[in-house]
Structure 1
Amino acid sequence: AVGEAGRWIMSKGQRKDARYQSPLEAQRRATQQQTLQMNLNVLSRIDPSVIEIMDMAKHVVVYKFDTQTNGWQKIDIEGSLFITRRAAHPTHRFFVLNRSGIHNYEQDITPDILLQVEGSYLILRPPDSPNIIGMWFFQDEEHVAI
């Protein structure tokens, strides 16, 4: 009986370890890796210099600040946001792969870009443009991480 109990405890412990390596968890991780690789392939077709996805947000909506009305205008760009590393200069770039239309949003990340976090928004002012861009994040924790 002691032997039986010992084997049962060992077996139970092994099941606990196996739970952390469950087929479902392994499948989820594999799916995430496949999705990441697929996104990297798509981004590489748009910009062949892209070599890595550093971070991403599942859903953002892009707005432009209108100085005449002193308000934000939605510009029909929304989708997944990617922060990428590139083999070319500038070495980092924002991409929003647009689900609402054919035009994506791309912005180089350089030392002179102005960035600010306001609530659920990431506000940026590109150095080579008079436009102020706001990105609204569907999930608050994503904009904090980015």
Structure 2
Amino acid sequence: MTPRKTRGRHQQNTSQSIPVQASDYESEAFYEPHVTTRSNTELNLAVLRRYHPSIQSILSIAPSAQIYTYVPESSSWNKTDIEGTLFVCQLAPATLSGRIHYCIVVLNRRGLDNLIMNMAAVENVEITGEFLMIGVRSSEDPNIRPEEGAEMKTLGFFIHADKLDTREVNCQLIKEKWEEEGAQRHGEGATEPQKSEATDGRKLNLADLFGSQG
């Protein structure tokens, strides 16, 4: 009688010999980096502060404004090479007095010269028809109030009309903030100089703007 063959007692089950590795769900999960989104206001502030670090907030925006200079000899306006988005901004409070100041910025889309004008340097604001006329006394630094004896120059702001009536809104706001600056100046003495240092691009010097006009 042929002996019955028996299976080896030490034969291993292959399914039991493969180790099972514990799952690490944190490492196996798809990694999605956190993306931070910034609002248009935050982006605009970041750009403006490159030219005027003291800007604290944006009060109003006009999508397009063209700058002119007035020529008294011919009673005419000369179109400058400055045209772009206009911002009315509030500056950080003055260090000593805590007074609030304002500025106008036109980011020039035609070149590197941006118009940056602190309200403290403005002598007169007038709204006439489609023009906002601002009188300033020419100075090498448009952010420092010049001497009273300096020559008066006039800038014309033509804010292009749009569906949101930004022309009227911005003209009225600029005049209102200029009057507020004047009330502070007459009520508490001379305005503290508000200096700005451009860290990128160029800042328009009013002497350059008016240089060709005599």
Q: Percent identity?
A: 26
Greater fraction strand: 1
Q: How far apart are the structure 2 equivalents of 1:74 and 1:110?
A: 25
* Count of residues in correspondence between the two structures: 115
1:143 to 164, 167, 172: 167
5+ long unaligned stretches in structure 1: 1-30
Q: How far apart are the structure 2 equivalents of 1:118 and 1:53?
A: 25
Q: How far apart are the structure 1 equivalents of 2:93 and 2:50?
A: 15
* 1:14-65 deviation digits (Å, cap 9, x = unpaired): xxxxxxxxxxxxxxxxx9x722221111111111111100111110000000
1:134 lines up with 2:156 in the alignment: yes
Return the offset for 1:113.
Answer: 2.8
Greater fraction helix: 1
5+ long unaligned stretches in structure 2: 1-36, 95-99, 138-145, 171-214
Q: Give the TM-score of the pair, scaled to structure 2.
A: 0.49
Write out the 4+ residue segments of structure 1 that deviate beyond 6 Å after TM superposition.
none
1:80-99 alignment runs, 5 A limit = 80-87=85-92, 89=94, 91-99=101-109
Q: Give the TM-score of the pair, scaled to structure 1.
A: 0.71
Contact 2:122 2:135 in 1 (8 A): no
Q: How far apart are the structure 1 equivalents of 2:110 and 2:160?
A: 15
Please give the secondary structure, in 1, of the residue aligned with 2:112: coil
Give the aligned CA root-mean-square deviation in angstroms.
2.2
Q: What is the one-letter code of the residue matched to 1:138?
A: H
Greater RCO (CA < 8 Å, at least 6 residues apart): 2
Q: How far apart are the structure 2 equivalents of 1:143 and 1:113?
A: 21
